[in-house]
Structure 1
C-alpha cells in the first residue's frame, strides 16, 4: 500500500488519510502478500484504499 500512497497524495478522497506514520520502511513478507490483493483496487478505486486504512488504524493504535 505504501507504493500507492505516493500516487494518491493528491486524490481528494484518499489524500487526507495519508499520513507519514502509516508508511513502513521494509514491509514483512506477510504484509506484502496481504497488500498485493489491494494493489489493483487502490489504483482504480481510491475509496477502497481509504477503507483499508480506516479498518487498519484502530488495530494499530
Structure 2
C-alpha cells in the first residue's frame, strides 16, 4: 500500500469540500486556514476592554 503524500489537513479540506462545503464553525475554519484567508480579521473585530480599579470608600456618618 502506497503512502499518500497529502497531509491530514489537506485530507480534511478535501473531505469538507466533497461534502458540500463548510457549514459549521470548524469546517469554515479548516477551509479558511487551508485557502490562506486572513486569520487576523477576527482579532481586529474584537474590542479590548480594560477595567480600572478604584477605591470604594463607604462613609458611615
Provide the TM-score with structure 2 as the length reference: 0.26
Q: Which has the higher helix share?
A: 1
Larger radius of gyration: 2
Provide the TM-score with structure 1 as the length reference: 0.26
